[in-house]
Amino acid sequence: MYKLGFVLLLCLGPVEAADLPAAAPVHNRAPLAEGAFYRLPLGSVKPKGWLLDQLRIQSEGITGRLGDFWPDVGSNSAWLGGSGEGWERGPYYMDGLVPLAYLLNDTKLIAKVRPWMEWTLTHQRPDGAIGPAKNQDWWPIMVMLKALTQYQEATGDPRVIPLMEKYFAYQAGMLDSVPLKSWAIYRWQDELASILWLYNRTGDAKLLALANRIKGQGFDWPRLFTGFPFTGKVTREQAKHDSHGVNNAMGLKTAALWYLVSKQASDRAETARIIGVLDQYQGLPNGMFSADEHFAGRNPSQGTELCAVVESMFSLELDLAVLGDAWIGDRLEKIAFNPLPGTQTADLLSHQYDQQPNQVMCSLGRRDWTTNGPDSNLFGLEPNFGCCTANLHQGWPKFAASLWMASADGGLAVGAYAPSEVRTVINGAVVTVTETTDYPFRNRISLVVSAAAPQQFPLHLRIPAWTDHPSMSINGQPVEGIGIGSYKRIDRQWRNGDRMEITFPMPVRLSQGYNGSVSVERGPLVYSLRIGEHWSKLKQTGPVTDWEVYPTSAWNYGLHVDLRNPAAYFEVEEKPMARQPFGDNPPVALKTRARRLPEWVMVDDSAAPPPASPVAMQAKEGEQDQTVTLIPYGAARLRITSFPVLRLEAARP
C-alpha cells in the first residue's frame, strides 16, 4: 500500500502534507557512515499542546505576515521574478516558513510558500543555475536548498530532486572558475547537509566528489578551535568572518556532518570539543555564546544575535542526529526554551537583534557591542539589520520537527521533549507515539503508542544530565537501570495503547559564570529576575511595533544562596499553563532571598558586569533579606540572569 501510494504521488505531482502517507526515514547510503539517528521527513512529527500554540502564535505573528509589509520578502522579491531583494532574505524566510506551513498544515501559509517554490522550480536555467540571475553568490542558494529539501519531504514534489541534481552538476562545473567566496567559504557546511540529503536519495557518487570540493574551498572550522584565538571580547580590528557569531553557529554542524563522509573518529569527537571551547571563552548562562555580532566574551551584558540562536539550534539538530549524544539534546532544549523566546515579544511580532542575559534596559543607546549599532537590543521589525527578520522563522518549526528521530537500529529516539505526535513506518507498519506533557514547565511526560499490530522496536529516551532520580514506567511497571545524561534504550514488543510515564525531577541548580556570578536553572529552564517593564513605542510598521523597554523596579540584587545546597534557598511556584507560556503569566516561578547591591549600576546603558562573587556584606542588626521572584528567561524581556552571590558577615561589635 505504501509503495502504491508513493507511485500515485509521483503521477499526481505535488500534494499537501496531510495527504502524504507516513514515511520511513531515509538512511545514509554507503560509503557514508551510519548516523546514530535520522531526522524524519518533515510532517512526521507534529507539535501539540503548548508547542502547537507557539507555532500558531508565530503564524499569527511576524512569520505568517512578513511578506505583506516587508518588501525584502514581498511580491517584488527577485526570488519571485521581481526586481527586489535577490540575495539571502527570501531563502531565509522560506527556510522557516516552509516547515511552519506544513507542520501546521495551514492552507493560508502553504499558499504563501507555493509561489516561492514554484518560481525556483520553474526557473532553473539551461545550464542548471537556480535563483535570480542577478545573484552571483553561492551562499543564498545554499539556504534555498535547505528550504527545497524540507518542501520535498513535506509534499513529495517530484521536481525537487532533478532540480538539485542538475544544480549540483552545474556547480561542480563552475567551482574552479567561480570558487566559494566571502560568506559561502564559512557556510559551506550548510550546503553539505543538502548534498548528503540528495546523495542518500540518488546514490550519485559525483555528489560526494562535490562535497570534497566545497570542503576544500571552505573554512576549516574544527581547526579554529585548536589554539582558539578568541579568548575574550574581540576588537573591531579582529572582527572577521571567523569571529562572527552566525558563521560560528552554522559551523557547529561541520564536524558531525563531515564525519559521515570521513568516518574518522576524530571528526566524531570534534563537536563536543568545539562547544567546550566556546563555553570556556564565550559562553553565556542562556546556553549560547556571545555574538554581538562577533565574539564578545562572557560578560552577561554582552549580546547574542538572534540568527546565531536559530542557526545554533539547527546545527545541534543535525549534530544530534549524527552523533546521538544526550548532551546535544540537553543543549538544544536549553537554547530553544530560553534565548529563542527571550528575544521576541510574547506575540512573536517584534524581535531583538542582540539579547543580553543581564538585560536591564532596551533602548536606543551606545552599548558596548563588538560591532553592532545603537538599536540592536530594541524589540522591533529590523533592529540593527534585517537578517534576523528574515531568518528567525526556522527556530520553532525545525525544533518541533526534530523532537523525534528514527534510530539507526530501526526504532525511535527522542531528540527533545515537548508535546507532540510522531507518525512513522517501523517494520513496514505505521506506528504513532503521542507525547502529552507541559514539559519544560512540568516534569512529567506521558507517551502512548498506537499501532495496528504489535511491533518489536527500540525506543531511545534521552535522560537529561540535570535530572535526579528519574523514573519511568511502562503500563505501570517500573523501568530499571536509568542512567543520567545518556539514552535509555528500551527494546520490546510495543502494543497498541502501551503507555509510558516518565518523571524527570528538576532540582534547582546554580551554575557559575562571569566574575563568580551564579545562574539559576531548573530542568531545561534558566531563571531570571523579574523586573518591572515599561514599554515605550518608537514606531509602527504594518503589525510590528518597535519598542524600547525601561525598568520600573530594581534589578541590582545579589542572591543569598549556598552553592552547596541551592534547593534549600528556592521555593517553586506552579501556576496554570497559559497559551503563551513565555508571556506575562509564566506557568512556573521561583522565590528566593536577595539583597540590593547599591554599587552595582548601569554603565553605557547596560548593567555593569556583576561584582566579583562572593560579595561580602555586613549583616546589620534588624536588616532582612528581601524575597525576589525569578521567572523563566524566555518570559523575562528585562532580566538579571547572572547574579552576584552574597556572603553575609556578622557586624563587628
Interacting residues toward Zn ion by CB under 5 A: 305, 307, 387-388
Choice between 372 and 592, CB closer to Zn ion: 372
**Crossing angle of the two packed helices 188-202 and 254-262, in degrees rounded to 10:** 40
Closer CB to Zn ion, 91 or 440, in the complex: 91
Long-range contacts of 117-126 (CB under 8 A, 24+ apart): 117/147, 117/148, 117/151, 117/157, 119/79, 119/80, 119/81, 120/79, 120/144, 120/148, 120/163, 121/157, 121/159, 121/160, 121/163, 123/81, 124/163, 124/166, 124/167
Measured CA to CA, the distance from residue 319 to residue 316 in angstroms comes to 5
Q: Are 275 and 331 in contact (CB under 8 A)?
A: yes
Cβ atoms of 36 and 407 closer than 8 Å: yes
CB of 293 to Zn ion, least distance (A): 7
Closer to Zn ion at the Cβ: 45 or 147?
147
**Residue closest to Zn ion, measured at CB:** 307
Rg (CA), the chain: 24
CB-nearer residue toward Zn ion: 124 or 282 = 282
Nearer to Zn ion, 72 or 305 (CB): 305
Report the residue number, 110 or 388, with the smaller CB distance to Zn ion.
388
For the CB of residue 383, give the shortest distance to Zn ion in the complex, in Å: 10
SS3 state of residue 491: strand
Long-range contacts at 264-267 (CB < 8 A, ≥ 24 apart): 267/222
Beta carbons of 334 and 297 less than 8 angstroms apart: no
Query: Which of 229, 167, 220 is CA-nearest to residue 198?
Result: 167
Query: Measured from the CB of residue 389, what is the shortest distance to Zn ion in angstroms?
Result: 8
Residue 59 or 355: which CB sits closer to Zn ion? 355
* Least distance from Zn ion to the Cβ atom of residue 390, Å: 8
Residue 65 identity: R
- Residue 211 or 387 with smaller CB distance to Zn ion: 387
Q: With respect to Zn ion, which residue has the nearer C-beta, 370 or 517? A: 370
Least Å distance, CB 317 to Zn ion, is 19
Query: CB of 350: closest distance to Zn ion in angstroms?
Result: 14
Q: How far is the CB of 294 from Zn ion (least distance, A)?
A: 13
Minimal distance, residue 246 CB to Zn ion, in Å: 6
Measured CA to CA, the distance from residue 638 to residue 122 in angstroms comes to 47
User: Is 370 within 8 Å of 299 (Cβ atoms)?
Assistant: no
Give least dist CB 268 to Zn ion, A: 30
For 275-297, the three-class secondary structure string (H helix, E strand, C coil) is: HHHHHHHHECCCCCECECCECEC
For 615, the enclosing helix (H) or strand (E) is strand 615-619
Q: Could you say which DSSP state residue 645 is in?
A: B
